[in-house]
Amino acid sequence: MHAGRWRKTSAGSHEVRGRTLGIVGYGRIGSQVSVLAEALGMRVIYHDVVPTLALGNARPAASLEHLLRESDVVTLHVPATEGTSNLIGQRELGLMRDGAMLLNNSRGSVVNIDALGEALRSSHLAGAAVDVFPHEPSSNDEPFESPLRGLDNVILTPHVGGSTGEAQEAIAQDVATKLTRFINVGSTTGAVNVPNVELAAQPGGERARPHRILHFHKNVPGVLGKLHEALSAHGANVSGEVLGTNQELGYVVVDVDPGDSRPVVEELEAIPETIRVRSILRAWHDADDPTVLVVAHRAAHRGPGAGGPENSLPSIEAAIAMGCDMIEVDVRRTIDGHFVLMHDTTVDRTTTGKGRVDELTLEQVRELRLLDGDGLPTVLAVPTLREALLACRGRIMVNLDKARGYLAECLSLATQLGMRNHVVLKARIQSEDASDYLRSNGLDDLVGGQSPHTLSFMPIVAFDESTDAPDALLELTSLAVLHAPAIEVCLDGEAAGDRLIYPVANLLDGRARLWMNSLWDSISGGRSDSRAIEDPHAVWGWMVDNGVTVIQTDEPQRLLEYLRSRGLHW
């Protein structure tokens, strides 16, 4: 009619109502087609290699052959696999009813295109609609060649089944999520070229946040034995493991306890059949690892999922149960030289007692009871550092604050308890005296030049509105020689945050993790927890989108939910 012609006729036109639609592949798309076809009044039968529950009045066909014989229209919704290659060939087309129609919106390899051309030319089939082809042009500039060209009973479309703005956006999000999940948790679900493996995080409070090793290897006998030998030689306790294989490749994802899996990784790299090994264990030590780590400030004592008073054992348990990566706790020394968890210099705010910690004995401190959030006494005593570390051993990393004056003693206790690799010390230091400071604290081996993964010290730096970006960068560059796994950067207020976060993150990129706190505005670049409760994206989104990969918060449960919703935590 656009060309000015009027051709009114009913020849070859039929209602779909009452006709039989045969769906081959009753998955996500096939089953939706089923619902739509029934809404148009069609009778639906389907065939799938996996037994699948029928939707509405649809019924499974006894076999593919039965479906082909019974259907007026056959529509294909199977993936391209060895099993579906030429699924519909000359024989199958021959089984279809005279005057039936074939729709192929799945993949070109599923239908033998020459046989289809023949069935259409002979008018055995009344028509076909084909969106996918064995050979598709790789761009719109290349010509389209097909035996179906020129047949007037075929509708040809250029693989546009998913070509709506909405579908393209959904595809982009799906692809990005899948890539993020591979990077962050090693999941290969949906990959077409490697075995599909998905290892769920171990649930619940007893779970140690494990180090995850991803191992791609040649699929030949004996490799798994070597892998397990390496794990047991290094005393790595396996808490979860999944293997997937295809013809050439094996892919294992294995979770081990939070010790240092780097030696295991090195040993796995040396196995001749290893193709690639990666460890998410290095989450903390690996500046390139984009996983965002969650640190529960004074352990999980606020917000949903909180366990009890700050710096208490129940709050540590709560942080572990919700899946935090690290707790931050404060260390003070009693007059008789014992380390206890206490934030303030005095016990006044958080316990039933009064006085400076360093003027009380351990016994006196232990008689006190911790206060709850309303200031009421609980049955809980002030934990010793040893108790707290033992509660965390093999379960969660620990960041010790306020330990500035006793770094060496704390590190020595951690080493004694076999926890050197998951205790992180920190202090605010100036770059010019950083090395001297560490040496004078007996921490010579933490000074640059040592193997970076043994370092357990993190410098803290603070910048405000008066700090020039070049000065901040100079300071960070000087600190970076310490090879610390992370640098805690405090930015005072929103203006400082807006101005400095990008240059800071850019400078640290690949050198050290950027640790930020969302605790209060004077250190969080003006983006603190209270705002995050209303608008997590404005606070935590701003941080991670700007390159922050460790966030310390008083709202760990909410932060975890936010990061998990973005595929940035597992």
Whole-number Cα distances in Å, 212 to 208, 242, 531: 11, 11, 33
Task: Give me the least distance between CB of 62 and ligand NAI, in Å please.
Answer: 13
77/298 with CB nearer ligand NAI = 77
Q: CB of residue 35 vs ligand NAI: minimum separation in angstroms?
A: 13
Residue 190 interacts with ligand AKG (CB under 6 A)? no
Per the DSSP assignment, residues forming a β-bridge with 191 are: none
Residue 27 interacts, among ligand AKG, ligand NAI, none and using kind-specific CB cut-offs from 5 to 8 Å, with: ligand NAI
CB of 61 to ligand AKG, least distance (A): 24
Binding-site residue total for ligand AKG (CB under 6 A)? 4
CB 567 → ligand NAI: shortest distance, Å?
20
| Nearest CA among 191, 168, 167 for reference residue 178 | 191
DSSP string of 190-235? T-SSS-----PPPPSTT----EEEEEEEE--TTHHHHHHHHHHHTT
- 63, interface contact from ligand AKG, ligand NAI, none, CB < 5-8 Å by kind: none
Nearer to ligand NAI, 78 or 327 (CB): 78
171 contact, one of ligand AKG, ligand NAI, none, CB 5-8 Å limit per kind: ligand AKG
The residues that bridge with 278 in the sheet, in sequence order, are 214
Nearer to ligand AKG, 171 or 474 (CB): 171
Indicate the burial class of 512 (C-beta count within 10 angstroms; 0-12, 13-18, 19 or more).
buried
By rule CB under 6 A, what string of x and - marks binding of each residue 140-179 to ligand AKG?
---------------------xxx-------x--------
Contacts of 193 (CB under 8 A, 6+ apart): none
Residue owning tokens 């059949």: 273
26 contact, one of ligand NAI, ligand AKG, none, CB 5-8 Å limit per kind: ligand NAI
Residue among 49 and 176 whose Cβ is closer to ligand NAI: 49
The alpha carbon of residue 223 and the mean position of all alpha carbons in its chain are separated, in whole angstroms, by 27
For the chain, the straight-line distance linking the first and the last C-alpha, in angstroms and rounded, comes to 58
- Cβ 157 to ligand NAI, closest distance in Å? 8
Query: Under the rule (CB under 6 A), what is the footprint of ligand NAI?
Result: 24-30, 47-50, 77-81, 83-84, 87, 105-107, 131-132, 159, 161-162
Residue closer to ligand NAI (CB basis): 115 or 277: 115
What is the nearest approach in angstroms of ligand NAI to the Cβ of residue 160? Answer: 6
Q: Pick the closer one to ligand NAI by CB: 61 or 532.
A: 61
DSSP code string of 279-332: EGGGGTT-TT--PPEEEEETSS-SSTT--SSTT-HHHHHHHHHHT-SEEEEEEE
3-state class (DSSP) for residue 426: strand
* Alpha carbon distances (Å) from 214 to 27, 277, 546: 30, 6, 27
Least CB distance to ligand NAI at residue 138 (A)? 15
Nearest alpha carbon to residue 329 among 340, 317, 345, 318 = 340
Distance of alpha carbon 50 from alpha carbon 31, whole angstroms: 13
Amino acid code (one letter) for 411: L
Binding at 147: pick from ligand AKG, ligand NAI, none (beta carbon under 5-8 Å per type)? none
**Of the two residues 60 and 161, which places its CB atom closer to ligand AKG in the complex?**
161
Distance CA 519, CA 296 (A): 10
Q: Which residues are catalytic?
A: 107, 136, 159
Interface residues toward ligand AKG, by CB under 6 A: 161-163, 171
